[in-house]
Amino acid sequence: MPTGYPALIDSMRPFGSRQIRNMATLGGNLCNASPGADAAPPLLVYEATVELRDRNGTREMPLEDFFVGPGETALRPGEVMTAILLPPPHGDVRSVYLRKGRVKMDVATASVAALVEMDGGTCVRARLAAGAVAPVPKRLIATERQVAGFPLDDAVLERASAEAADEISPITDVRSTAEYRRHLTRVLVRRALERLRTAEARERSPPMRTAVAFELNGHDVSVEVDAHRSLLDVLRDVLGETGTKEGCGEGECGACTVLVDDVAVVSCLFPVCEAEGASVTTVEGLFAPGGDLSPVQRAYLEFGGTQCGFCTPGMVMASVALLAENPDPSEDEIRYALLGNLCRCTGYVQIVESVRAAAELMMEGSQR
């Protein structure tokens, strides 16, 4: 049974940089009354109340009534917010917060929090709220009516996301157009409800555990894990082999590249069950006996291919796979082989030079 306030935790991540955490408060985020305040939609779906105090006394009001307009709240002169009160979670409740910004940590272009309480496959209570798409962070009351009382099937999700797009009043500003914000809200509402539906289904039928045995960097390993887990998760979280990195988790960046039976794969999309009986090589397995770096690793170091800790292990593994297949690749062939490995910052010139240098080293010494 889920507990706590997970949507609120999700909302803290995109704006809680170290500098902000050293200075800011949740109350400050609310009193700033930005329409895009990340903490507001989760607190609205949790039906938070705020406590306001001045020298004459204390009053409480629902957070929903606290926001009056962009940058405007119900605070009277001399009043301060002294508490944010949340009802304790009860029942079979799940919640989530999703947002889209231009970069990871910036003001949201649009955001959505959703909370559902389920009873036997039917949603008996729904709360939805959106940020950055109206003059104030907004409860989506009409959208909630499309969800409460129904199973979370595709038709309900479609109706609800269309209603949400109608219910908001976005503007065009430096961050986005009104049309894009409307589109985003529709997508985010659908995704949020889908995510809650999946979480609920998972809890009703917990994943099967399975035993998987394979060879990892020349040693036999055996693990008992949830059958749906990826090889990347198991390498890092179960076996403690953290040399393999997670960049995107979606098969796009190649940071998680490992070799399975000498073939390069993205381990974030590789089901661990598929590794049964296979030989898996990670960047930790490239060291020569005695702990010396392999030629590919040496060349990456000498020619500046070692750029950052995120992309380098995957680049190295993809290079090893390439050189095993093609010991003398041209620049075009190297670039083609590394198309699935993204560097988001520095570029590929030194990486390509490193692979060429590794090829030469290996042809001299004929080892990887």
Applying CB under 6 A, which residues contact ligand FES? 246-249, 251-256, 266, 268, 307-308, 310-311, 343-346
Give min distance, CB of 192 to ligand FES, in A.
Answer: 23
CB-based contact 367:295 (threshold 8 Å): yes
Give min distance, CB of 251 to ligand FES, in A.
Answer: 5
Nearer to ligand FES, 317 or 362 (CB): 317
Give min distance, CB of 158 to ligand FES, in A.
Answer: 30
Nearer to ligand FES, 92 or 246 (CB): 246
Q: Which residues contact 363 (CB under 8 A, 6 or more apart)?
A: 327, 328
Q: Which amino acid is at 198?
A: T
- Nearest-10 crossing angle of helices 349-365, 312-325: 40
Phi, psi of 138 (to 5 degrees): -130, 130
Nearer to ligand FES, 167 or 233 (CB): 233
CA atoms in the 13 A half-sphere facing the CB of 223: 22
Nearer to ligand FES, 54 or 246 (CB): 246
CB-based contact 99:110 (threshold 8 Å): yes
Q: Which string of b and e fits 332-351 if b means at least 16 CB within 10 Å?
A: eebeebbeebbbeeeebebb
Give min distance, CB of 235 to ligand FES, in A.
Answer: 12
Nearer to ligand FES, 7 or 311 (CB): 311
- The bridge status of strand 67-69 relative to strand 72-73 is antiparallel
Give min distance, CB of 275 to ligand FES, in A.
Answer: 15
